[in-house]
Amino acid sequence: YQYLLKQSPMTFLSKGTLTLCLLAASAAIVSALDLELVTEEETVQPFDLWDSGSATLLVSYEDDAGHENVVQLANEMKKQGKKIKEKNVRLAKTQKVKGAKSAKEDKDKEDDKDKDGNGKGPKAGKADDRNRRLRMLQEDDTIASGFSIIEIESDDLAAEASLLGSLPGVTAVEQDGIMHIESMEYQQKLRGGGGLADHIREIQDAIRATAGEFPDDEVEFSPNLEGEDAADALHGRRLAQETPYGISMVNASYVNSKPPVMQDPIKICVVDTGYDLGHPDLPNQEQHNVTGWHKVNADGSTPFDKWDIDGNGHGTHCAGTIGAIGTNDFGVTSVNPDPSKFQFIIGKGLSDSGSGSNANVIDAVRECVNAGAKVVSMSLGGTGSSSITEAFYKDQYDQGVLIIAAAGNSAADSWGYPAGYPQVMSVGSVMESGSLSYFSTRNTQVEITGPGHSVKSTHKNNGYTTMSGTSMACPHVAGVAALLWTHFPDCTNNQIRNAMIHSAYEPPTTDARNTPGWDKYYGWGTVNAGSAYDLLSKGCEVAGGVTDPPGGGELSDLANGGKDQLNVGCTLDEHCDQSNPCLGTTQCISGTCEPVAGSAPVCDDNLKCTIDTCDPSKPYNVLTDLCVFTPKACENGNMCDGINDCDEETGNCYEKEPPVDCDDSNACTTDTCNPSTGICSNTDLTCNDNNACTLNDTCDLLLGCIFEEPQQNCCGNAQCEAGETESSCPVDCGTSLTTSFDTSIANRVELGPIFDIKTKSKNVTIAGFDLNCNVPDGIESKVFVYSLPGGRYYDNGRWYKKQLWDLVHESSISCNGFGTPTPVTLAESVTVPKESKHAFFIYIYTDSAATGYWFYKSMYPPAGKTARYSTLDEDSYLEIQTGSGSYCISGFCAITSPRRPAITINYAVINDSPTTPPTINSMPSTPVPTYTPTTKPTPLPTTLEPTPVPTAMPTPAPTSEPTDMPSSAPSESLAPTPFEPVKVTVSSPATSSANIVYSFYFDVKGGTVDSVLTNIKVTTYASMQEIKVFAKRGTGKQSEQIPCDWQLVAETGNEVTGYWKKLYPNWTNGFEPVELFAGKKISLYVVSTGKMLAKYAGSSSLKYKPHFSTPSSSPLPGIKVSYASYGKRELFKSYPSHYSSRSFMGALDLETVAPGSTRSPTSAPTGQFSTNQIESVDAGTENTYLGIQFDVQATEAVILKKLDLHVAEGTHFVEVWYRTGSHKGSSPGCDHHNNWCNKWTKAVGGTIVSSGQDTLTSTPEVTIVMSAGDTFGLAVVFPQSGLVASTSTVDATDDVLTIKSSGSQINDYYGNEVNTIHDLDSTSITFKGKIEYDLVNSICALYSAQNGVLSDVDDVEPDVTEDNVTNPNGPVGDGDGAGGPMDGEEPMDGMGDGFDSLS
């Protein structure tokens, strides 16, 4: 990632006078949406690719031999010419390297609850950030004694990682990640949330501070002054010292009034962007021994600058909160105001841009700890975790170091690191009122909060500023930890940590999210130094638990973090008190907090239309008084969406009354519905194309607006130059300019050129280009031409700012091969005024899934013309200048160094008047013919029978004003020639952003004539997927989850698709045509196992309402495509009706049909089942067990419905589980019923009553779908022994289903806790009883069964920001670009701020 954070330089001359220099190249802040991809010839300073960590690997090793193998391989690579560096990090103690996910985080994400036990977990569908980067683990929980940081230049990083991972003694290989500061100011600018508006506000603040708006004694020292100006301002107008609100909130003054016990200053490390050494309000080197570390390359260079220089200001701000001098009567004070009591060690882990690599941060922490730091403050984070990095922080914890980090600013349930590691104390943010800051990240690792909203502190250049973020909260907590340690030096890091938790402020009770104890918003509360001091005064173990970990363990064994931090290491019951009756009572037993059985209420009213929760704030006599039962809300408040209610039997919301349909079937009205009243309004449509050269703009009731052809010679004429011959109006005489270029020696290839032209004394019209291009045979391709008035394509990054360019041409292209010119004639010429510059960006793009083609040749410029904008070739009117080549599949993301394009520019010179150059309408291409109906179409029929098609196509619109009324349409006898269908493609509107969907439903309404749908194009966003298309007659509104209403018309295998690819899928058996009758609707349902793109459209009331249509000029006019409803990956599983709508992104191919050629619609398949049962073979000895696992095999598609069991007399609770494949498993670590690797699925659980083991007792009904040839493992589980099984060794079969003998008995009840591995008895037993099943006789029935086995749909619509992606790569809004991440399935910006947007 390359971030250029450029700020406007400001110089203050005197009071009342302010000079601002806003440089065009640096005034705007480059946001995360404007990232440059660096080519091999383009670099960006100061954070270049080599030092950024993007080509860095962490390689952990088991012992010295493993490290020697890594070093040896690195040396061999270096000898082969590879650029590679190795740095060794030796751990103080050997550590275990965990897998890609820890069991703790899995559990936390599955059961991420508030303190009342009823909170929601992280949002479904969110990809796990841990799996986004390259990661290889040889074996879980292997021992690591250290790791190497490998910086490597490689074309195939995965191959290099695989090679390193294969070395003996290497335990894990991981790609390094990106870290960034956690201030809101930084992240808003990177997201474009602040940008120039923030800049302007900063300038305005500076003006107010210096322009005499306040009395002199109120003007603060400006943070923008430097050098002598800064010194003069500081000494000339010094303010009285200010105590920021956060210092008072954490109650630091109470502790500072007590004499410290520690004799030597405690060492505090701040890992950040550096330190403004010399700031008058911060400790210095001479008096206070401030020291630090920064990265130094082998050649002595410092890629991120030195530790004592903070070009960002963020690190200085954090350091000021911890230790700004409080005894100097000016500036601000801090948590530790006496610099003689502590020593700063500064680790420059991040660059001045605010970002850096994880490896560099590790280096900074390591150097700090080696220098004696006891507390490490890290106001930074990133989205990806690392098992090697976690082992590193665990090692620091075992050395007694307390590491504190910012939780993140995602304003959502998400995970950031290093705060997400249990050995790191995660800090959230509160405002001055004590309430949670809106941006603070929420998860089960959040442990404590601190003041982080509008915090004032020191800043770079001897200044002060106010900033917000968990970055600001973190140093408050770190400062308190250091302050407490100076008074209680004998306490361990874990005791200081726990003491801060036990003594934390309870957040405001007015916040509904807060309940006593821990929650994911505030953690355990807000840090309180005074209360922690009083608690620690009673003893370290009383305040913070045990000193020595039980069983001779390590300190890290006591570090669970977040909500679980207090579960281990207690010494008193008070350590376990959660102060929350909803969670029950917890006692300290043998150093562990254990819940007391039956002390927590069970809130369940057995009603499916209520939401059952527990309210700890309610008064109660018995525990169930705390329960709250809230009716499920099915209405969304929009009267246009109809009336919804809750089904008491299923708990699902259903449509009681349908949505309001405001469509009046009049194309000349805009139909809307008032959401407050549900009343329709139909507003007349105004047809005006704002073109003075077209007459009689009208509206047709069925077709909508109709616009005539422009009048000839309407827009002005031009005159010829002397000696030239006028060919057509308004162009005078055409000419061309070709670069001096021998294509046979061209040595560079790219996707197209980008270059400037410059006109001379005449206005010039660009009519087209001759390109030197080649596209392999059989590959369909397009050419796009973009235009930029004013030229200078490279300045200010214009080459990647697509919004600045105009798309002037888009068409298919068939290249003639390198060396033979391929003409591209612009449909509408581009006029360039005299004596001006203009830039063009041309590139060739293919829809093919293959993307490895380079279509265009160029070469390096000749000597003396290598600089951009050098004149390459010229004539009397025009010059071509040195440009570049596109290296990105769709232009706007990467370019080459200067290039000489192989191109001919075809142009015409026009006279100097009129002043405004005329629009070129007639040159050089023939206008595309348009069509208007000669007679008013027949009204839409009221039945489903197709309306007869017109007997001939409408005649083209006249090219001049007609003198007579048009004749009526010809009869069939006038058209004796054979019928030739006309093909029409209906494409979705242009868009440059979209949302990920898995399936969608939409309607297509026929136009004025019958037609047939022959293919569909979709936009994909996944590398591999299967796609199915279903169709039905009428609207899909009422049939979204009803499989038997639909007919399968096309499907693919598991095909390579790609990111942001608009393509025709490779249908396995072709696309079955679907008839579209005039005025009638069909509905399409498109579903994928991967990801597709659709556009967020807003209100749910738009679903199935018209979205786009074919124009009146089309051979198939009036076809309307609706907005879409959307659903899940699973077949026929849609989201609830109140979810917002989407708009289909793609195209439909249709053809006209001959009169009378349409067929009756094929009926959709219907469900057919036949019920059967199979009984086990009665043989062998019988006994009772806790449960059994056994296999069943199917020769045909079946649906298992229930199991009839022999059970001991009485009431029992039973669970039925299933998995694909044998119950004995085949994957390593996945044997038997181990759900840890997600092999088993719970089918049902419930109570059954048996009258005795000689009779059959049925389980609750299940729905387990088996395809022909499947083997499934089944598990039947009881809490206590009661299931009868036998020792029979005979299989039972009925030629459809086989019950296999040799099952496995279950010796312990595990119920819902199957995520723990249990050993099975080796003795074989066999299922005894019957299995009832349905034989599936149609694909409709199979879909119905699969639909029924799925869980209910969500109640709450996912946040659209989660799946929002943008496409800067294709033409504006075209969706044809190939944008997307290159190493994962999810859009990712690497910033950890909760916003996953692709740029």
Q: Which of 314, 487, 575, 838 is catalytic?
A: 314
Instruction: Give φ, ψ of 110 to 5 degrees.
Output: -75, -35
Angle between helices 470-487 and 529-536 (to 10 degrees): 30
Q: What span, in angstroms and rounded, lies between the C-alpha atoms of 644 and 1135? A: 14
Burial status of residue 384 (CB atoms within 10 A of its CB: 0-12, 13-18, 19 or more): buried
Q: Determine the residue type at 395.
A: D
DSSP annotation of 626: G
Burial 809-820 (b: 16+ CB within 10 A, else e): beeebebbebee
d(CA 1134, CA 115): 32
Residue type, 490: D
Asked if 737 and 905 count as a contact pair (C-beta separation under 8 A), the reply is: yes
Measured from the Cβ of residue 956, the count of other Cβ atoms closer than 10 Å reads 12
Contact 1309, 1186 (CB under 8 A): yes
What gap in Å lies between CA 363 and CA 295, rounded to an integer? 8
Question: Residue holding tokens 């249709």?
Answer: 1150
* First and final C-alpha spacing in the chain: 11
H and E: helices and strands count for the chain: 17, 72
Burial (CB < 10 A; 0-12, 13-18, 19+), residue 1364, is middle
DSSP per position, 896-934 = -SSBEE-EEEEEEEE-S-SSSPPP--SSSSPPPP-B--S
Residue with tokens 């096309």: 1050
Report residue 1178 as tokens.
């009665």
Asked if residue 729 lies in contact with residue 919, where contact means CB atoms within 8 angstroms, the answer is no
With CA atoms as reference, report the closest residue to 744 among 673, 819, 669, 675: 819
Q: Is 222 within 8 Å of 229 (Cβ atoms)? A: no
CA distance 883 to 869: 7
DSSP 1160: P
How many CB atoms lie under 10 A from the CB of residue 1295?
8
The verdict on whether 314 is a catalytic residue reads yes
Q: For the beta carbon of residue 1291, count every other beta carbon within 10 angstroms.
A: 15
Give the separation between CA 758 and CA 836, rounded to whole angstroms.
Answer: 6
Looking at 108, 114, 272, 564, which residue is catalytic? Answer: 272
Task: Report the 10 Å Cβ neighbour count for 614.
Answer: 24
Which residues 6+ apart lie within 8 Å of 189 measured at CB? 5, 29, 31, 195, 198
Q: Hey, what are 1358's tokens?
A: 């996912």
Within 10 A of 964 (CB to CB), how many other CB atoms are there?
5
Q: Is 876 exposed, middle or buried (0-12, 13-18, 19+ CB in 10 A)?
A: exposed
Q: Which of 471, 999, 1011, 1113 is catalytic?
A: 471
Structural contact between residues 1377 and 807, judged by C-beta atoms closer than 8 angstroms: no
Pairing of strands 342-348, 291-293: parallel
CB 1137 within 8 A of CB 1006: no
Length of the chain equals 1399
Helix H or strand E encompassing 363: helix 358-370
Burial class (CB in 10 A: 0-12, 13-18, 19+), 584: middle
Reported as type and span, the H/E element at residue 322 is: helix 314-323
Residue 272 catalytic?
A: yes
Q: Which neighbouring-strand residues pair with 561?
A: none
Supply the residues annotated as catalytic. Answer: 272, 314, 471
